[in-house]
Structure 1
Amino acid sequence: MSVLLLKLAGPLQSWGSSSRYVRRSTQKEPTKSAVIGLLASAQGRLRGDGIEDLLDLSFGVRIDQPGTLVNDFQTEHPSKGKPMPTTNRYYMSDAKYLVGLGADDALLTGLDDALRHPRWPLFLGRRSCPPEYPVSLGLQPGDSVIEVLEKHGWIAAPWYKRRHPGCQLEVVCDAGLGSDAEQGVPEGVISSQADIPLSFGASRKYAFRAVNRYRIPNPDGAAPDGGSRPGRDRPDFDHDPMSFF
């Protein structure tokens, strides 16, 4: 069995599962519906096309760099007519996620190729959120999504690793993924969220998905420098804002 790994990283990401009207919130990690939408876009599927083959993907996310929640307050004033209601849109800034997808090798190979040569532009939840490339890290050997997520190297930025050496990483996966007990999934917090897409058409519909949240040891262990705190003397701090005087 193989697992397809994705790296979802960029300046801004937004993963809404319950956004309504003037408040557009975000989950702190990618939703399954958004990742399925990203895969469908890469394959060039239209909004009315079927996505049944993607709904059965085993899905897990490892939060390697949590990022910061930021708020974008937006207004719209058309040249004619009444102004639109003001909206609050929330994003995760400077976050990095490792996503594992499990299915038969034929489907995963096709998805890997589509992500490397996407038919439509790819976005991290919203069109204002382009991803870092490459998105696909390729197929990885393993018996389950959980096994691969727990063993793959930490993908956080070097500066984040220096600030948080050896920190634990949170995993969010399908509850009952291949039977949690059989796969050795630690006991976590079980919750539900509406992020199983039944249709991406004009009338979007979602079903609820049970998710399991727990923490794992960092696969990279402690930082090789012993976990020095960031400061003016750190190796990558070479920017002096007063140097032009």
Structure 2
Amino acid sequence: MSTLLLRLGAPLQSWGTSSRFVRRNTDRAPSRSGVLGLLAAAQGRRRTDPLEELLGLRIGVRVDQPGRLERDFQTARTRDGANSMPLSYRFYLADAVFAVAVEGDRALLESLERALRSPVFPLFLGRRSCPPAGRLLHGLAEGGVRDRLEQHPWLASPWVQRRHQEPTKDLDIVVDCPPGESDAELVRDEPISFDPRERRYEWRSIHRTAVTVPNPAYHAPTSGPGPAVDPFDPMAAFEGIA
């Protein structure tokens, strides 16, 4: 199997799998339905087009930079301005970065890579107001999802890497897994249809674990004598008095 690696980063992104009515939540990591929707948009698939070809892909997400949760609210009135509509709340992840590994047949992944380089429809990270920023494609290579997520360098922003004063970093990952696997969780974000008249999502199994990657911004302390120490002790004058 081959795996295509993507970097999903932006000032704002939102990945809702359980939003209802006036409250639109976001998950802490990209959803399967959101990633497949991004790939379908790049290919030019319309919401009414079948998704069977994409449903066979296996997806894994590594949380390289978790970001922070932000809440926005929107107001609205009726067209004549006479009545106020209920407040609606929107939740986003601000300044987050994710490494997303997409595993499948190489020919399909090569076509997806070409589509992502020249997408038919605009790409967005969960919502239309959240376009991706920075380098999206990080190569197609042999190996499975976990192999790519373990081996690929940390994709967090340089300032985040510099603030982490350790040689390695533990990163959470979420990977598709077979039903019934030990410690598996069920999430309802397997898209069967994006048709607005009949949206359908089924349950899928995921496994949460972690991987350790090197920190490219870490610099080990240099050996040898350290800086000279000032022998002056401002409290020494009080020792005799005490």
Question: Where on the TM-score scale, by shorter chain, does this alignment land: which range?
Answer: 0.7 to 0.9
**Cα distance in 2 between the residues matched to 1:7 and 1:123:** 13
Cα deviation for residue 28 of structure 1 reads 0.3
Note if 1:211 corresponds to 2:220: no
| Residue-by-residue CA offset, 1:149-183 (whole Å, 9 max, x unaligned) | 11000000011012224331001011239x97xxx
Secondary structure in 2 matching 1:96: strand
2:150 is aligned to 150
- How much has 1:138 moved relative to structure 2? 2.3
Question: Separation in 2 of the partners of 1:3 and 1:193?
Answer: 23
Structure 1: which amino acid aligns with 2:189? D
Superposed structure 1 runs of 4+ greater than 2 Å apart: 81-84, 164-167, 221-227
Question: In structure 1, how many angstroms separate the alpha carbons of the residues matched to 2:216 and 2:3?
Answer: 26
Aligned amino acid, residue 176 of structure 2: D
Q: Partners of 1:159 and 1:24 in 2: how far apart? A: 30
Specify the code of the residue in structure 2 equivalent to 1:145. Answer: V
2:5, 2:100 within 8 Å by CA — same for their partners in 1? yes
Residue type at the aligned position of 2:178: G
Match of 1:19 in 2: 19
Question: Structure 1, residues 25-59: CA drift from partner, whole Å, max 9, x if none?
Answer: 00000000001101110011111001111011011
- Tell me the SS of whatever aligns to 2:161: helix
Match of 2:101 in 1: 100
CA contact (8 A) 1:73 1:89 kept: yes
Larger Rg: 2
Counterparts of residues 12-51 of structure 1 (less than 5 Å): 12-51=12-51
Q: How does 1:32-181 map to 2 (within 5 A)?
A: 32-80=32-80, 82-142=83-143, 144-164=144-164, 165=166, 166-176=168-178
Q: TM-score, normalised by structure 2?
A: 0.84
Q: Give how far 1:73 is off.
A: 1.3
Aligned length, in residue pairs: 217
Cα deviation 1:50-74 (Å, max 9, x = unaligned)? 1111011011000000000000011
**1: distance between equivalents of 2:205 and 2:132?**
27
1:229-244 map, 5 Å: none
> Any conservation in 2 of the 1:116–1:134 contact (CA below 8 Å)?
no
State the identity %. Answer: 47
The CA deviation string for residues 54-99 of structure 1, in whole angstroms up to 9 with x for no partner, is 0110110000000000000111124415322111110000000000
* In 2: Cα distance, 1:196 partner to 1:40 partner: 14
Residue 4 of structure 2 aligns to a residue whose secondary structure is strand
> Which 10-residue stretch deviates more, 128-137 or 190-199?
128-137
What code does the residue aligned with 2:209 have? Y
Q: Which residue of 2 aligns with 1:242?
A: none
1: distance between equivalents of 2:215 and 2:89?
39
Q: What secondary structure sits across from 1:34 in the alignment? A: helix
Could you tell me which runs of 5 or more consecutive residues in structure 2 were left unpaired when the two chains were aligned: 222-242
Letter in 2 for 1:132: A
Q: Secondary structure at the match of 1:84?
A: coil
CA RMSD, aligned part only? 1.9
Deviations 1:82-119 (A, max 9, x none): 32211111000000000001111100000000001000
2:8 is aligned to: 8
Q: 1:190 and 2:192 equivalent?
A: no
**In the alignment, which residue of structure 1 is the partner of 2:230?**
none
Structure 1 portions without partners, runs of 5+: 181-186, 228-245
